[in-house]
Amino acid sequence: MDPKIMKHTKSLVNIALWLMVFITLPTGVCGQEQKKVSAIRSGELWPDENGQHINAHGGGVLKYGDTYFWFGEHKAEHTSNALVGVTCYASEDLLNWRNCGVALSVTDERGHDIERGCILERPKVIYNQVTKKFCMWFHLELKGRGYNAARFGVAVADCPEGPYKFLYSQRANAGMWPIEFGEQEMAVIDTLDGANYKEEWTPAWLKAVAQGLFVKRDFGTGQMSRDMTLFVDDDGKAYHIFSSEENLTLHIAELTDDYLHHTGRYTRIAPAGHNEAPAIFKHEGTYWMITSGCTGWAPNEARMFSASSIWGPWTQHPNPCRGPKAEITFGGQSTFVLAIDPSPLTSKYIFMADIWRPRHPIDARYIWLPIEFEDGKPVIHWRDEWEIGF
């Protein structure tokens, strides 16, 4: 070939190659900005700053300074067991998130409470204004024991993204009765005996559960503690809200001033009502709680409760979800309600839920929807996409 033509062809090939590289190059590398996320699209992939789907499931959000920190379960490709730990992402606009890495890491120490392969779910972080510590609570199941341990775990850090230091895990409120158990309730408790119920799920068994059959059974060792959230009230008091009593009854337990232990004061919500996935917020003096039923990874109809005191009484309301798949929480399960203050939204609450993918856990999706009020009650309308407006 004529060397001139060859040179020309070579440079054309070079240009073509460069073009191909630029066209196929994923954004977010070589200083190229990852396309900004401009709206919330529940159920879709949610890319972080590097273009990776956010991996923070069953999570919650904490605002510290001007930054929101999203904590959640790291999910692997083929197992929901904890192979990594709790992840943390940061954002100023709630749409575009930076991956801050692993906030609480599982360990390879054999027999450790958070040994790699344990089940570590629904982590939540609250900030203690007095101790200046970030306090993380989560649901923990010891490695190799399925869901039998039913414990909560606590970890602490000096900065929001961690690293968090694991403190301890245990069952809740051993040796303590719920605050509403007076003389009358205790007289009933004295008569309850698991041996009297050959069959579960009968009306008589459910009545006994509601009266405290499992509270009594677990009195000495501590109450079971699974799906959970944390809530800090306006007065700085914090509470741990969790599924207890074989997931049949929710407990709300007061935390010590350092947010690292229970005080021993707790109440039961919807005894024998079979609620999981609690998410709570307070609006104009009323506490609202959204929960799910107990169908594992499969979605079911959301439930809602309200109370004018955290200690109850709690009243149940109909399902707050509206729109397609409202009867199965749009395919998801509640995890958290984020209150934004000040908020560019008409409502300042965002309902957060997970669409689980048990066969491909890492691909689980998120539902984030605004909570609006109709006739004084929260409602959640499905939206394919919406903007927060920061």
Q: State yes or no: residue 227 binds ligand GAL (CB under 6 A).
A: yes
Instruction: List all residues 6 or more positions away from 77 whose beta carbon is below 8 Å from its beta carbon.
Output: 360, 361, 362
* φ/ψ (deg, to 5) at 277: 50, 50
The 90-129 site mask, x for binding ligand GAL (CB under 6 A), equals -------------------------------xx-------
Q: State yes or no: residue 169 binds ligand GAL (CB under 6 A).
A: no
Q: Which residue number, 122 or 282, has a Cβ lying nearer to ligand GAL?
A: 122
Torsion sign across C-alpha atoms 368, 311, 228, 305: negative
Q: Is residue 232 within 8 Å of 341, Cβ to Cβ?
A: no
Region of 233-241, 294-302, 309-317, 366-374 interacting with ligand GAL (CB under 6 A)? 294-302
Q: Shortest Cβ distance from residue 243 to ligand GAL (Å)?
A: 8
Q: Which residue number, 122 or 262, has a Cβ lying nearer to ligand GAL?
A: 122
Q: What is the DSSP string of 151-187?
A: EEEEEEESSTT-PPEEEEEE-B-TT---TT--HHHHH
Q: State yes or no: residue 218 binds ligand GAL (CB under 6 A).
A: no
Region of 2-10, 21-29, 200-208, 292-300 interacting with ligand GAL (CB under 6 A)? 292-300
CA distance 47 to 28: 11
Q: Is residue 267 within 8 Å of 260, Cβ to Cβ?
A: no
Q: Which residue number, 149 or 208, has a Cβ lying nearer to ligand GAL?
A: 149
The residue nearest ligand GAL at its CB is 296
CA distance 217 to 193: 9
Measuring CA to CA, how many Å separate 256 from each of 40, 57, 179, 265, 308?
A: 36, 27, 16, 10, 22
Q: State yes or no: residue 149 binds ligand GAL (CB under 6 A).
A: no
Q: Which residue number, 87 or 333, has a Cβ lying nearer to ligand GAL?
A: 333
Provide the residue type at 167 as one letter. Answer: L
Q: Is residue 361 within 8 Å of 75, Cβ to Cβ?
A: yes
Q: State yes or no: residue 48 binds ligand GAL (CB under 6 A).
A: no
Q: Which residue number, 192 or 270, has a Cβ lying nearer to ligand GAL?
A: 270
Which pairing describes strands 85-91 and 98-105: parallel, antiparallel, or unpaired?
A: antiparallel
Q: Shortest Cβ distance from residue 133 to ligand GAL (Å)?
A: 26
Q: State yes or no: residue 333 binds ligand GAL (CB under 6 A).
A: yes
Q: Which residue number, 311 or 330, has a Cβ lying nearer to ligand GAL?
A: 330
Q: Which residue number, 122 or 133, has a Cβ lying nearer to ligand GAL?
A: 122
User: How many residues form the binding site for ligand GAL (CB under 6 A)?
Assistant: 10
Q: State yes or no: residue 162 binds ligand GAL (CB under 6 A).
A: no
Q: Tokens in use for 350?
A: 């965002």
Q: State yes or no: residue 74 binds ligand GAL (CB under 6 A).
A: no
CA distance 157 to 127: 10
Binding site for ligand GAL (CB under 6 A): 58, 121-122, 227, 276-277, 294, 296-297, 333
